[in-house]
């Protein structure tokens, strides 16, 4: 379709975004995870407050361990550091997990602050708006375009129902699987995480099957 | 450890770039999406796969840690539900935002559905599934 980027530009853009985020934050980003944390903001804010309190305890324990090691001339052993509210480290954390260089000391940065996840979602909207306006594609409409009209339904009521049901499946499915196309697809597959490779193969394969059904059968 | 301000700035830049890029690739266009999933047009598929290849190479060169991730009981059923919902509604969690930004007002319904599904997952997991971390935001 005219007006869209060639594949190599899209690939370079998505890769740059993912690599830049990993380098600048030591973390992965995941849109479904951002949604999840923003929607449960009360619980997340409480966890952040608890984590801030635990951080003081951790700093004290680490200072004591360092002082002990210096006094007795031994190497720094693993101090009895109390876990944070987020239970760091997070071996099974979802798609917003922290990542560090394998040579770096193990210092888990924890999940990104809640406000940054809200900023991510708002910025996606603004980025999409800028793209639509600058490309001339912006057009306020009450349908989902000719493809949805031809392949899924032309009835407005059915359209609303299917969009809602599809949205519920997306929201439920991404959180159950622990990630979406950004968390598992880009960040997880980019790190060759087995769970992300499996999840991406399954959600992509399912989408292919359902799309063929919509195209050829229904 | 990055400062809070630096992480905020990184997320704003990432969000702007992601929305701009995803929109310009065409992921918000249901017709393009269906053409990708039915292999009628490989452009968007190559964009995604090409990005993954570049990221794998870059992370290997930069020695970004390969984080572990257990394939827990929620992965396959969750991915099946997600794939079905993506093919029907045309939206993964970022796409409906981009669709609304492009003027597709019905995508607001998809966003409502996504938020309901996410909340439903936490509730269902606490009540029925009892899956450990990695699922439903735990």
Residue numbers in B near A191 (CB within 8 A): 56, 59, 64-67
Of A91, A123, A169, the CB nearest to B16: A123
pLDDT tens-digit readout, B15-40:
999 999 999 999 999 999 999 999 99
pLDDT of residue B2: 76
B7 pLDDT more than 70: yes
Of A87, A163, A77, A195, residue with least CA distance to B108: A163
Does residue B73 belong to the interface with chain A, where contact is any CB pair within 8 Å?
no
Work out the minimum CA distance from A67 to partner chain B, whole angstroms.
Answer: 22
- What is the pLDDT confidence band of residue B131, given thresholds at 50, 70 and 90? confident
| B8 vs A: CB within 8 A | yes
pLDDT at A86: 53
What's residue A99's pLDDT?
A: 46
What pLDDT, on a 0 to 100 scale, did the predictor assign at position A101? 42
- Residue B47: pLDDT above 90? yes
Contact check, Cβ <8 Å, B93/A12? no
Distance from CA of A74 to the nearest CA of B (A): 26
The span from the CA of A68 to the CA of A73, in Å, is: 8
Take residue A67 and report the two structure tokens written for it: 């002082």
Q: Which residue of A has its CA nearest to B5?
A: A116
CB–CB of A86/A53 below 8 Å?
no
pLDDT in tens, A176-216: 999 899 999 999 999 999 999 999 999 999 999 999 999 88
From residue B94, how far is each of A176, B70, B135 by CA, in Å?
A: 17, 25, 19
Query: Which residue ranges of chain A lie beneath pLDDT 50?
Result: 1, 76-83, 87-97, 99-106
Q: Which two tokens stand for residue A171?
A: 């929201």
ipTM: 0.93
pLDDT (0 to 100) of residue B48: 96
User: Which one of A16, A27, A191 has the shortest CB-CB distance to B66?
Assistant: A191
Count CB atoms within 10 A of the CB of residue A132.
Answer: 24
- Looking at the partner chain, which of B106, B116, B117 has a beta carbon nearest the beta carbon of A143? B106
pLDDT per residue as tens digits for the range B100-122 = 999 999 999 999 999 999 999 99
For B34, the closest of A5, A32, A147 (CB atoms) is A147
Residue B63 has pLDDT above 90, yes or no: no
What pLDDT is stored for residue A52 in this prediction? Answer: 79
- Please give the pLDDT value at position A90: 36
Q: C-alpha B107: how far from its chain's center?
A: 16
> For chain B, what is the mean pLDDT?
91
CA distance B104 to chain A (A): 5
B99 interaction partners in chain A (CB closer than 8 Å): 128, 144
Mutate to test the interface with B, among A152, A169, A197, A198 (most CBs of B within 10 A): A169
């Amino acid at each position: 379709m005219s007006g869209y980027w060639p594949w190599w530009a899209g690939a370079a853009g998505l890769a740059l975004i993912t690599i830049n985020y990993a380098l600048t934050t030591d973390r992965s980003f995941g849109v479904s995870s951002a949604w999840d944390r923003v929607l449960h903001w009360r619980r997340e804010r409480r966890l952040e407050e608890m984590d801030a309190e635990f951080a003081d305890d951790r700093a004290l324990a680490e200072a004591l361990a360092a002082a002990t090691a210096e006094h007795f001339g031994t190497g720094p052993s693993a101090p009895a550091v109390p876990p944070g509210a987020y239970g760091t480290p997070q071996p099974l954390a979802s798609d917003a997990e922290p990542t560090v260089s394998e040579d770096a000391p193990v210092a888990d940065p924890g999940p990104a602050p809640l406000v940054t996840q809200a900023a991510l979602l708002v910025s996606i909207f603004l980025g999409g708006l800028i793209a639509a306006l600058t490309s001339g594609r912006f057009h306020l409409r009450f349908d989902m375009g000719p493809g949805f009209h031809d392949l899924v339904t032309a009835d407005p009521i059915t359209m609303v129902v299917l969009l809602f049901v599809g949205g519920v499946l997306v929201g439920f499915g991404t959180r159950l699987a622990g990630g979406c196309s950004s968390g598992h697809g880009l960040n997880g597959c980019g790190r060759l995480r087995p769970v992300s490779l499996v999840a991406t193969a399954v959600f992509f394969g399912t989408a292919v099957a359902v799309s063929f059904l919509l195209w050829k059968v229904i | 450890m990055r400062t809070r301000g630096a992480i905020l700035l990184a997320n704003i830049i990432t969000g702007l770039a992601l929305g701009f890029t995803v929109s310009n690739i065409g992921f918000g266009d249901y017709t393009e999406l269906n053409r990708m999933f039915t292999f009628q047009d490989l452009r968007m598929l190559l964009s995604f796969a090409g990005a993954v290849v570049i990221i794998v190479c870059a992370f290997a060169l930069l020695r970004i840690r390969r984080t572990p991730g257990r394939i827990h009981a929620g992965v396959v059923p969750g991915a099946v539900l997600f794939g079905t919902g993506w093919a029907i509604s045309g939206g993964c969690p970022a796409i409906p935002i981009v669709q609304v930004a492009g003027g597709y007002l019905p995508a607001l319904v998809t966003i409502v559905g996504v938020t309901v599904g996410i909340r439903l997952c936490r509730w269902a997991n606490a009540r029925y599934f009892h899956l450990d971390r990695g699922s439903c935001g735990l």
